[in-house]
Structure 1
Amino acid sequence: MATTYIHFTEEQKDQARCTDLRSFLLRQGEKVERSGSEYKWNHGGAKITIRGNLWFNQYNPEGGDAIAFAREFYGLDFPEAVKFLLEQQGVVILPQKDVPAKEKKPFALPKKNEDMRRVYAYLLKARFLDREVVNAFVRAGLLYEDAEYHNAVFCGSR
């Protein structure tokens, strides 16, 4: 099944994960039998043990929470399972609003500063680069100081 993206909050995922499986199955019209402190659900010859929001398959050692239950026995993927379990609890899932794509500005290098004192000071004294290495980058046009924030701007070459 192809699904569209649905954003769930952590609280919604936890709420779906903590769904009481006995109540859930009874709402689905399934027969659930009490067995001590647990419940048993017969599904296609398999005995499924249910305790709160957890289940365990006695014949095929696997189990999990309510989301794993919906995925295993209802053939749903994760978002569908969460949505299904929440809807069974009366939670309304609102569709996400389409956010209009922002127009991307073309990339432009920042304006060059008149001198490079701050970049030299930073690269030599704080980053301990050799002066000759910094000079080589400057001469090749691969390094300059931007005018607004005085950042070191490293440029690629084509």
Structure 2
Amino acid sequence: MDGRFTEEELAIAKSVDLCAVAESLGYTVKRIGKYHTLKEMDSIRIYNRSHWYRWSRQYDRGNNGGSQIDFLRVFCGMNVKDAVFWLLDFAGYRRIESPVKQPLVHQVSQENRKAEERKPFILPEPAGDNSYLISYLNRERGISRTVIDMFLKAGLIYESRHYHNVVFRGNDKNGVTRFASMRGVFDKQGKPFKCDVAGNDKNFGFNVANDNSTELVVFEAAIDLMSYVDIFTDYESNKLALGMLADAPLETFLREHPQITSIRFCLDGDEPGRKASLELMEKYYGLGYEVEDCPPPAGYKDYNEWLVATKLSLSATANRTSEIIRA
């Protein structure tokens, strides 16, 4: 199949909620009157949840406004083709190799579905060491060296060579990596870089498996999973980061680990996280699992924010104690 898109596909790509796209990339969307902006870049204006403009003269023409496609091109470094594919995937649409027009993928049975076009899944080349990764996770995200080293030794995280991103690997039950996401260690102008590796199978997520445990703890993000391990020193339970609020990775993990009988949902404390947690608890309780809602404490968005606040509090207490002793 060539790289050309049908009018229907382009219409679907340009119908995606741009605010949802921005949030999925790690931005904080705020409504101001008739438009939305981003907490991290308040010069951005999003109109009708579909078009954006950047009020600044320092950017080259073509980089300060446009559609959802232009947003991904400017802020994620995608070309137009990759941006359209990304938006179609975000909308739950799959291109189907056939000369005959087909309905959307969710209307096509798995048996009759032809092979989908998907880029090869190639993990980023690892760096010579993990120094940038360790510095970022330890100093910026408050995760202890003990926990970082544990995940490095297990081969679940590593530092990429060219951009020094943290790569989070999602393996299947046989240890084969089927999913990977990246998180930049250099946030420019408050803008976090987050991206899935091309060719991912989103039915899998970043996980820690233990066939001897019947408990599964579920998170939205990989860093929250690592933060939880640090807070509770929990090295025994199964743990899974969805990488989103949809539960396809959870369905896969439960299918691959049938010994699991209980699920604890540690999703974010914001409105989307609370809504998703309630819906997932209802679904999996109905499927016969013991379920529990375990959000971060009130006032914290997620487990990493809780961990960082705890570390800062402990550090401040230690400094005050040291000053008293010296006095």
Partner of 1:49: 45
Q: 2:56 aligns with which of 55, 59, 63?
A: 59
Shift of 1:59: 1.3
Give the alignment partner of residue 70 of structure 1, picking from 69, 72, 78. 72
Secondary structure at the aligned position of 2:28 is classed as: coil
1:33, 1:39 within 8 Å by CA — same for their partners in 2? Answer: yes
C-alpha separation between the residues in 2 aligned to 1:39 and 1:46? 9
User: Which blocks of at least 5 consecutive residues in structure 1 are unaligned?
Assistant: 98-158
Q: Does 1:6 pair with 2:14?
A: no
Counterpart Cα distance in 1 of 2:32 and 2:44? 11
Query: 2-side partners of 1:29 and 1:69: how far apart?
Result: 14
| RMSD after superposition | 2.4
Given residue 7 of structure 2, which amino acid in structure 1 is its aligned partner?
E
Q: CA deviation at 1:18?
A: 2.6
Unaligned runs of 5+ in 2: 99-114, 116-327
What residue in structure 1 maps to residue 87 of structure 2?
85
The Cα shift of 1:95 comes to: 5.5
Are the structure 2 counterparts of residues 48 and 81 from structure 1 closer, same or farther at C-alpha, using a change threshold of 3 Å?
Answer: same
Deviation per CA, 1:16-46: give whole Å up to 9, x if none. 1232111222233321111111110145x56
TM-aligned CA distance change 1:69 to 1:63, over 3 Å? same
Counterpart position of 1:116: none
Structure-1-length-normalised TM-score = 0.51
Separation in structure 2 between the aligned mates of residue 32 and residue 70 of structure 1, nearest angstrom: 16
CA distance in 2, matches of 1:5, 1:71: 20
Q: Name the counterpart of 1:124.
A: none
TM-score (norm 2): 0.26
Amino acid in structure 2 at the alignment position of 1:49: R
Q: Given the alignment, which residue of 31, 35, 38 partners 1:38?
A: 35
Pair 1:22 & 2:19 matched:
yes
- The corresponding residue for 1:136 is none
Q: From the CA coordinates, give the structure whose radius of gyration is larger.
A: 1
Shift of 1:66: 0.9
How many residues of Structure 1 are paired with residues of Structure 2 in the alignment?
A: 93
Whether contact under 8 Å (1:63, 1:69) holds in the other structure is yes
Higher RCO by CA contacts (8 Å cutoff, separation 6 or greater): 1
**Contact kept? 1:42, 1:48, Cα under 8 Å:** no
Give the distance between the partners of 1:48 and 1:10, measured in 2 at CA. Answer: 28
Looking at structure 1, the residues matched to 89 and 81 of structure 2 have their Cα atoms a distance apart, in angstroms, of 12
Structure 1 pair 95–80 and aligned structure 2 pair: CA distance change class (3 A): farther
Counterpart amino acid of residue 50 in structure 1: I
State the percentage of identical aligned residues.
28
| Aligned counterparts, 1:116-135, within 5 A | none
Q: Is the 8 A contact 1:46 1:58 kept in 2?
A: no
Measured in 2, the distance between the counterparts of 1:46 and 1:72 equals 16
Q: What SS is found at the alignment partner of 2:43? A: strand
Task: Kindly indicate whether the alpha-carbon contact (under 8 Å) linking 1:17 and 1:53 is maintained by their aligned counterparts in 2.
Answer: yes
Q: What secondary structure sits across from 1:13 in the alignment? A: helix
